[in-house]
Structure 1
Amino acid sequence: MATSRRRFLGALLAASAIPRLSWADAGSPAFLACAREPDDSFALYGLSAAGEDRFRVRLPARGHAGAGHPLRPEAVVFARRPGTYALVIDCAGGKVMHRLTPPEGRQFNGHGVYLDGGDVLVTTEQRSSDSVGMLGYWSVAEGYRRIDERPTGGIGPHEVVRLSDNLLAVANGGIATDPSDRRKLNIAVMRPNLAYLDGQGTLIRTVELAEDLRFNSIRHLAVGADGIVAFAMQWERDPDEVVPLLGLHRGDGAPILAAAPPAEQRVMQGYAGSIAFDLAGSEVAITSPRGGRLHRFRPDGRFIAATTRADACGLAGISGGFLLTDGGGGVLTAEQGRMRSLGLRRRSWDNHVIALNRG
């Protein structure tokens, strides 16, 4: 008995002596971004705050977005939605640790978020047969074992964000898609919403747009100061129509819809690709790769200015402004509307830049 106890204590001591890796072991990246390489392969990159490459991990197919673990150099990357794989990657070692697969008849929808200090991963999913939305819950400590799932309260969920461990927001895009070719099936009757769920995945409320804006698919989300949620939209009717592509919502209030002056708004072609607040929460911005624009707003919806950049889409907040990536390989900052290049890479950046919130 004493020998067994000594062995147990020795094993425990040895385990505690194993060094825990941190994001510093992966080069201290500030951002993650997926890209297409010149040879048409795909990779996940870690970028420094100055836009420099910190690591590269090859992907088996196009990556859309992902999430970074708050403590360890570990990230989950999702296939272009709707997709059937999510890869958990050791960013320090450059290896795939786990390959997540949704339940049969389900698809991942491109985004996820860590909860509880990184103990739980939440993924957006849809049922293949009718695009009804679900959140999948995965235990990180148990090797990303699936432990629960909850309805999102809508059709075609895309992004999920964490307001706190007890409050999530989900962008239910409202669009049912064919699982094989992404063909849109229900535009005539689509009904997007912004949904809030508690920490256990129970639906608290949904926020819908007015009837004349119900063709505005709610796609991407950002969280600002005091829990304000900003949402970026994509118009499913005539792209020349002038409609707001930014919404802001807080608490039990009605959503605020924001737009640039009509001539500038029309340039966006009804499409907002990414959204972010600057680190101070004093500005929120959306990008349009179709229009080659960055639009900046105050959190009350007042338009500030537009900045031109061809095929700009990836967006993340920095101190005093935003970091952008574009389809031509550019990495830039935008501060008070002034663009500054951080370099031109030999790759085509995908839609999103993921800011790392490291513990």
Structure 2
Amino acid sequence: MQANRRRFLGGMLAAGLIPKPTWADAGGPAYLAAAAKPDGSFALCGIGRALNITFEIPLPARGHAAAAHPTRPQAVAFARRPGRFAVVIDCVSGAVKAQLDAPQGRHFYGHGAFSQDGDWLFTTENDYEHGQGRIGVWDVSKGYTRVGEFHSGGVGPHDIKRLPGSDVLVVANGGIDTHPDSGRVKLNIATMQPNLTYLDQGQIIEVAQLPPEMHKNSIRHLAIGPRGQVAFGMQWQGDGQMSALIGQHRQSQPIQLIGADDDHARELGGYIGSIAYSRNGKMIAVTSPRGGVVHQYDANDLTLDQVFELQDVCGVAPQDRGFAITSGRGDIGGLGRDGPAFAQSDALRWDNHLVEV
């Protein structure tokens, strides 16, 4: 009877009579986030719009960020950089569908992005023997098989996003060269050249660079607005204090830097952990786990709008009426015009990023 039932279901699936699973079958998460648990284990979690946990799936080690497939309930969870693995998870069953291993001479940087149709996955990688950034290309239909790679347009590519309604990719080339033999030591601070690189079908179509005097400001994390504008958060590698740790860019236009006065710049500690646009693109929120603060800026006039303190804050993503925020202490909540509203959990300590599904 079991064999007959499997053949029957297999025939219905082949005929297209059984609906393919969607994100609704995984509880309809609005976000993905990696977390650490009290017993020392790690998990990838789905988080609903009400900031409830929709699923919790074990990870083999500490996670950093994730990429959500645009239609299937599948997520790629990336190891904390520099990492050599990423796992593809069926978020309905919790099963590991595939494991991505960085090729010899490469490591991942903790981020990836899908093509618009979900047929391809792109991963940021370091070719550490040549000190060059690479974008790995993985064929989803063939079980996430690696089929190629191309130049990231710089050194140390960290975050990667796809512009809305297109397959144009934008890469945050942080500019920092590292090598596994040196651990996390930064090898080229004096000569680093961070940039934003736009790529179409593996070809560089635009490169936006910072002013020469800011070449030690490593571009790390990206947010994409509803009209294709790009906001980016930076991490200062120089001496003293850097007032501008946030930038905004549109293709074919100069970079706009968003600065803060001395006191508010000091709060950020030279380090932006995550960045997000509001749903309407009018506000930009950034987090600094070093400073324990969230800053919210007006994206049009580039002024600081609101400041909120939260220890070890890092994850941020748009919410219907503001921003959803997580912290390494286990805080999860929202920041809107009426102020913050948070709850703290002892069961899950959130890692760096809150990724929209």
- Please state which band the TM-score falls in when normalised by the shorter chain: over 0.9
Root-mean-square deviation (CA, aligned residues, Å) is 1.7
Letter in 2 for 1:340: A
Output one character per residue of 1:149-176: Cα deviation in whole Å (capped at 9) or x when no partner: 1101100000110014331110000000
SS of the equivalent of 1:116 reads coil
Structure 1 unaligned spans of 5+ = 1-9
Question: Who is 1:242 aligned against?
Answer: 242
Matched pairs, number:
346
Secondary structure in structure 2 of the residue aligned to 1:226 = coil
Shift of 1:345: 4.3
Q: Residues of 1 paired with 2:355 and 2:105: CA distance?
A: 28
Confirm whether residue 222 of structure 1 aligns to residue 228 of structure 2: no
Amino acid of the structure 2 residue aligned with 1:297: Y
How much does 1:20 deviate? 0.7
**Does the CA contact (< 8 Å) of 2:111 and 2:124 recur in 1?**
yes
Distance 1:119 1:205 in 2: 24
User: Which amino acid is the alignment partner of residue 292 of structure 1?
Assistant: G
Q: C-alpha deviations, 1:82-138, integer Å up to 9, x for none?
A: 111010000110111100112211111110111132111111111021431111111
Please identify, of 14-23 and 42-51, the stretch whose mean Cα deviation from structure 2 is larger: 14-23
Percent of pairs with identical residues: 46
Give the Cα separation in 2 of the matches to 1:119 and 1:41: 31
Structure-1 separation of matches of 2:13 and 2:59: 37
168, 193, 199: which one pairs with 1:197?
199
1:183 paired residue number: 185
Partner of 2:113: 113
Q: Decide whether the 8 Å contact of 1:51 with 1:343 is kept in 2.
A: no
Q: Which runs of 5+ in 2 are unaligned?
A: 1-9
Q: Distance in 1 between matches of 2:309 and 2:260?
A: 14
Q: What is the rounded CA distance, in whole Å, between the counterparts of 2:14 and 2:86 in structure 1?
A: 32
| TM-score normalised to structure 1 length | 0.93
Q: Determine the structure 1 residue equivalent to 2:140.
A: 140
How far, CA to CA, are the matches of 2:285 and 2:238 in structure 1? 23
With the length of structure 2 as denominator, give the TM-score of the two structures: 0.93
Q: Is the Cα contact below 8 Å between 2:331 and 2:342 reproduced in 1?
A: yes
Quote the offset at 1:337 in angstroms: 6.6
Q: Which amino acid aligns with 1:271?
A: Y
Aligned partners of 1:42 and 1:62 also within 8 Å:
yes
AA matched with 2:111: H
1:324 is the counterpart of 2:321: no
Q: In the alignment, what sits opposite 1:6?
A: none
Contact 1:65 1:111 in 2 (8 A): yes
Work out whether residues 248 and 256 of structure 1, in 8 Å CA contact, stay in contact via their aligned partners in 2: yes
| Partner residue in 2 for 1:23 | 23
Detail structure 1 runs of 4+ shifted over 6 Å in the superposition: none
Tell me the SS of whatever aligns to 1:184.
coil
2:273 maps to a residue whose letter is G
Please give the secondary structure, in 1, of the residue aligned with 2:244: coil
Q: Distance in 2 between matches of 1:343 and 1:322?
A: 17
What residue identity is the alignment partner of 2:204? L
Instruction: Write the mapping of 1:1-359 to structure 2, written as runs, cut at 5 A.
Output: 14-163=14-163, 164-180=165-181, 181-198=183-200, 200-238=201-239, 240-300=240-300, 301-336=302-337, 338-356=339-357
